[in-house]
Amino acid sequence: MQRIVLASNNPGKIREIRRWLAPLGFEILPQSDLGIPEAEEPYGTFIENALAKARQACRAAGLPALADDSGICVTALNGAPGVHSARFAGDPCSDERNNAKLLALMEGVTDRRAHYYCVMVLLRHANDPQPLIAEGEWHGEIVHAPRGTGGFGYDPLFLDPRLGRTGAELALEEKNRVSHRGKALARLAERLSRSAPE
């Protein structure tokens, strides 16, 4: 199997990414398994942060590296939390605190539109001038109270109106078909099947 270091320690992301890439012959190694610390994410765009994370993991491991940067963008909050989704409520970061802050900010707001965004970046080596890049979006709205016990992040608050369920109410396989990360991974998997990393 082709080994790829994953520049993430998020158990939910690790599960979703392994489900997509293991059938293609890729062994996904979380960076924490190799003693690689989390990279700084100082940038204002998802793509710059994903590239920074992939580049650090690639250099440290000497292996191809995959990183994603993703978050939820709420229309009424001018796109926030955006790139700050994971630490929206500050440190220590937790899904519960982030969700509570979002609900507080959305109190009394009638425009509940939001979308998840994900960009995946794969570097074959640290100086790869042509990284594989794939994006995905998932459009929906913010509910007034958490629903469901699955998923992670803002999934209990994010309703897919077409399905009538939140991300936390979807089975993993169903979520992978409709989610931002699922769409980005499907596009990445398609590109990898045509051009495997060296």
Active-site residue numbers?
69
List CB contacts of 95: < 8 A, sequence separation 6 or more: 152, 153, 154
Question: What is the Cα–Cα distance from 167 to 175, expressed in whole angstroms?
Answer: 7
Burial (CB count <10 Å: 0-12, 13-18, 19+), residue 130 = exposed
Structure tokens at 181: 């990360």
Report residue 190: phi and psi, to 5°: -65, -40
**Three-state DSSP class for residue 139:** strand
